[in-house]
Structure 1
């Protein structure tokens, strides 16, 4: 839910974030003991480098010092990328997750009914996703298409043992 403070912060911060070719994903204001915590989450198609977060943090700090968006109380500022476990909620999130394994919670209205699906995103268009569902017990992977309207929740699965596709192709050559 949007609050007047979060609307003011978004209006102040979006131009700074956009100037770095980043997307402002989220603004969180919470309590951390006696202080408040201001967490700014940014992302881009190519990811976010630590140096970029540090530069943006300084710029945001300066802008907040010149503005009363956070009021007079002390606060801690954190600027970071969303992390691997954040939910996929926007079209751009699915595009950025192409090639990744994702756990989907399908809505009860889904064509094949509610349930859970783990699949790799192969392609994204305006209406939905083309997926590869991994085979079980030696079976081949199968293709599947789901519409965005069939997705209740989606989150990238962290793969510790998956080789990068480019490395696999080089080893096979």
Structure 2
């Protein structure tokens, strides 16, 4: 079975499993050449470790029962996307409204600021420039189709 067919099967299984909790959603599936599967699941209000363990066990059992890898030569990781993972789905943008982000557009332009709002086709990032009395707030509207990556930024 080729890589795309395996991803498709895993995607179907994961989506079916998540139907029991509509606030959780599939973000991405990655396969390494060593048959190491990484499945990223997120939630509108986050996803707990207990849920991730439950999903991992259920998916692992289904893969074994179907005999997708008769030799058992695979590993499965189910996790939530960490802060180092870019936002991929529209739903993730909504979830992260109010957080600081760095948006890189297809033309290489970068914008940092607060993810202020999310529409169907664009986001608004509010950038603060200057200090003290010279502080100004600039709102950048960025079309989703022009975004290469959006990453959450942690400010200390």
3-state SS of paired residue (2:129): coil
Separation in 1, partners of 2:80, 2:41 = 5
Rounded to whole Å, the distance in 1 between the matches of 2:92 and 2:32 is: 25
- Which residue does the alignment assign to 2:149? 153
Distance 1:3 1:19 in 2: 26
Match of 2:114 in 1: 120
Number of the residue aligned with 1:14: 15
Distance 1:99 1:70 in 2: 43
The residue aligned with 1:28 is 30
Shifted more, 38-47 versus 64-73: the winner is: 64-73
Report the TM-score, using the length of structure 2 for normalisation. Answer: 0.85
Structure 1 or 2, whichever has the larger Rg, is 1
The structural deviation recorded for 1:123 is: 1.0
Other-structure match for 2:51:
52
CA distance in 1 between counterparts of 2:56 and 2:106 reads 38
Partners of 1:92 and 1:100 in 2: how far apart? 14
CA distance in 1, matches of 2:18, 2:122: 28
Is this contact kept in 2: 1:8–1:69, CA < 8 A? Answer: no
Asked if the contact 1:25–1:43 (Cα under 8 Å) also holds between the matched residues in 2, the reply is yes
Provide the TM-score with structure 1 as the length reference: 0.77
The CA distance in 1 between the partners of 2:63 and 2:102, in whole Å, is 38
Partner of 1:168: none
In the alignment, which residue of structure 1 is the partner of 2:137? 141
Question: CA RMSD of the aligned region, Å?
Answer: 1.9
After superposition, the Cα gap between the structure-2 partners of 1:72 and 1:12, relative to the gap in structure 1 and judged at 3 Å, is farther
Give me the whole-angstrom Cα distance separating, in 2, the residues matched to 1:106 and 1:38.
Answer: 29
Report if aligned partners of 1:121, 1:130 keep a CA contact under 8 Å in 2: yes
